[in-house]
Amino acid sequence: MSEILVNRRDLAFQLFEVLETEKLTERTRFAEHSRETFEAVIETSDKMARDLFASHNALADKDEPRFVDGKVQMIPDVKRAFDAYAAAGFIAGSYDYELGGMQLPESVMAACNGFFTAANPGTAGYAFLTKAAANLIRVFGSEAQCRKYLEPMLTGHYAGTMAMTEPHAGSSLADIRTSATPTDQGHYLIKGAKIYISGGEQEITDNIVHLVLAKIKGAPAGVKGISLFIVPKYLTDDEGNKLGRNGVALAGLIHKMGYRGTTSTALSFGDDADCHGYLVGEPHQGLKYMFQMMNEARVGVGFGAAMIGYRGYMHSLEYARERLQGRHPSSKDPETPPLAIIEHADVRRMLLAQKSYVEGATALCLYGARLVDDSNTHPDETIRRESGLLLDLMTPVIKAWPSEYGPKANDLAIQVYGGAGYTREYPVEQCFRDNRLNPIHEGTNGIQALDLLGRKVWQADGAGIQALIRRMQVDLEAASDKRCQQWAYSLSETVQKAVKVTQTLGSALMKQGADRALANASCYLHLVGHICVAWMWLRQANVATKALQTAGSEEERHFYNGKLQAAQYFFHWELPTVAQDIVLLTNMDDTCLEMSTDWF
């Protein structure tokens, strides 16, 4: 088995030909960069991911972390990989040079992190969580908090976690009960229980910085009463010397279907000893802070799902070229040698479906990461604002679509392998199990659908939707040859129908109320998701069509023809499936809504 997990040629195509990432170097923030530095970090990521992460992916799954004498035991490879990732500067990769960062664009960082997820999502989890927690402290923490916690997190001496979920409050964080009582020494006393906290305990780093959502005594009810706290595993003085354990304890490990290398923990706060927490920013703003960082985190989840899907695709493609089985239906002679299964049209269907899902999802997520870059660094103020609006709108789609279609791709990878795919001797079953988390965490896809149709679409008087349509229009018009124009036509037809559906649902929201109007939100998410991915395929097809005219080698022509065929697959086989969503949404079908719970 070769260890090529993500097609580098495709990544270069998406980043440099479709997104023209090199142009970012015209912006002051990225002025010291060039395509060479981008390629060099991508190369380092690819190499480290294969050497240090992929190498123990199966082992960390088989030999999952164990709870022994109140401590977590895990294979040493995890620490080795985490330390190398941090030492190479990846946690701080997008940060300012002054903070030890490399001022890399988010779109390049996303691509880099993709290799680590594809190689080993469980081990990569510790690093990504640390980066996410560090981001929150950087933006909302005080200077003193940054010195004390952020700096050691950026070098990987401390890790971070996000401690939001409680046993009775997952999707509905408004209902959390963990409490924070102020003291006269500046800290708060935290009391409560959290569950599913990834990386909540480990022996990889010197200290763990939990970012905990809790309610200050007397706070308003619901989301407006939630505050954010830093809760370190070890209390430290200002020089970073350990003063002893804080009162946060591991109550137990949770045993999962996949992502087994990342510890999933139940944590108790303030049970046996006082648990000190330090308020981040202002009281009652905790959830708002979390949500401000959510876009990037959710783009990350989507990209992770795309990458695990990608890995399964690469494995199954290689397998299909080598596995000999069967003959063409037309072949009558049993003496003829069997064919590689890739010769069978049905196997090619499964490979093409995977290709169209994972490369489409990759394009979508990289587009999202680029929106992060544009909203932060585009020189034109209007484009900065527009990119921000568009990112807000598209985030639920970027999180949900890849996390639904990534596992679908993995399911097809298993099918291509036949019986072998179902066994643990081959890597694709693990890909599927790992990827199955992605529709659940960071807001379930059901919650994403409500977010899209209940909030995002109507934000800023629909300015996000308008920007989306404007941008699609540019690519529709850029379709130059017949094939692309045909696809552009079906996309534009679908968009028009979706606009109508949106208007219908908009008036239903006002006249019939949210319960009825949002009942089929998941169909709406699917509809918008497929439109966005079709758009991504049109963009790729436009570029490939042009490039094909000047492609210098046969290999290059194969690459671009492959892009066009995958685009065709998406337009012929996938986009038409939204017809059903359109009917259900237009009719405001109430089958599910009206199903009495007593009838089950």
Partner 1 sequence: MKVLVAVKRVIDYNVKVRVKPDNTGVDLANVKMAMNPFCEIAVEEAVRLKEKGVATEIVVVSIGPKAAQEQIRTALALGADRGIHIETDEEVQSLQAAKLLKAVVDKEEPKLVILGKQSIDTDNNQTGQMLAALAGMPQGTFASEVVVDGDKVNVTREVDGGLVTVQLNLPAVVTTDLRLNEPRYASLPNIMKAKKKPLDTQSPADLGVDLTPRLTTLKVEAPQTRKAGIKVGSVEELVDKLKNEAKVI
Ligand X SMILES: Cc1cc2nc3c(=O)[nH]c(=O)nc-3n(C[C@H](O)[C@H](O)[C@H](O)COP(=O)(O)OP(=O)(O)OC[C@H]3O[C@@H](n4cnc5c(N)ncnc54)[C@H](O)[C@@H]3O)c2cc1C
User: Which 3 state secondary structure label does DSSP give 493?
Assistant: helix
The listed partner (ligand X, partner 1, none) that binds 189, CB under 5 to 8 Å by sort, is: none
Residue 234 parent element (H or E): strand 234-236
Q: Which of 9, 96, 224, 422 binds ligand X (CB under 6 A)?
A: 422
CB of 430 to ligand X, least distance (A): 15
The listed partner (ligand X, partner 1, none) that binds 447, CB under 5 to 8 Å by sort, is: ligand X
Q: Which of 444, 492, 504, 565 binds ligand X (CB under 6 A)?
A: 444
Half-sphere exposure of residue 103: CA atoms within 13 angstroms, side-chain side: 14
CB of 282 to ligand X, least distance (A): 21
Q: Is 425 marked active-site?
A: no
Quick note: the x/- pattern for ligand X over 347-386, rule CB under 6 A, is x---------------------------------------
Q: Which of 164, 228, 488, 495 binds ligand X (CB under 6 A)?
A: 164
Q: Which of 12, 340, 383, 440 binds ligand X (CB under 6 A)?
A: 440
Does 331 sit near ligand X (CB under 6 A)?
no
Half-sphere exposure of residue 579: CA atoms within 13 angstroms, side-chain side: 7
Residue 150: is it exposed, middle or buried by C-beta count within 10 angstroms (0-12/13-18/19+)? buried
Looking at residue 589, its amino acid is D
274 and 187 Cβ atoms separated by less than 8 Å: no
Does 419 sit near ligand X (CB under 6 A)?
yes
Q: Which of 21, 120, 130, 198 binds ligand X (CB under 6 A)?
A: 198
How far, in Å, CA of 403 to CA of 347, rounded? Answer: 23
CB of 42 or CB of 449, closer to ligand X: 449
Per-residue 3-state assignment (H helix, E strand, C coil) for 53-79: HHHHHHHHHHCCCEEECCEEECCHHHH
CB of 45 to ligand X, least distance (A): 23
DSSP letters, 106-173, are HHHHHHHHHHHHHH-HHHHHHHHHHHHHHHHHHHHS-HHHIIIIIHHHHTTSEEEEEE--BTTBSS-G
Number of residues that bind ligand X (CB under 6 A): 34
120 and 56 Cβ atoms separated by less than 8 Å: yes
Does 163 sit near ligand X (CB under 6 A)?
yes
Q: How far is CA 365 from CA 6, 114, 298, 406, 448, in A?
A: 15, 10, 10, 12, 16
The pair phi, psi for residue 119, each rounded to 5°, is -75, -40
The catalytic residue among 201, 404, 442, 574 is 442
In the complex, the residues that contact partner 1 under the rule CB under 8 A are 2-4, 8-9, 32, 34, 36-37, 39-41, 43-44, 47-48, 50, 84, 87-90, 92-93, 97, 100-102, 104, 318, 553-556, 559
How far, in Å, CA of 317 to CA of 315, rounded? Answer: 5
CB of 325 or CB of 485, closer to ligand X: 325
Query: Do strands 158-163 and 66-68 pair parallel, antiparallel, or not at all (unpaired)?
Result: unpaired
CB of 339 to ligand X, least distance (A): 8
Does 523 sit near ligand X (CB under 6 A)?
no
Task: Using CB under 6 A, list all residues that contact ligand X.
Answer: 161-165, 170-172, 196-198, 256, 259, 264, 323, 325-326, 341, 344, 346-347, 415-416, 418-420, 422, 437, 440-441, 444, 446-447, 450
* Active-site annotation, residues: 442
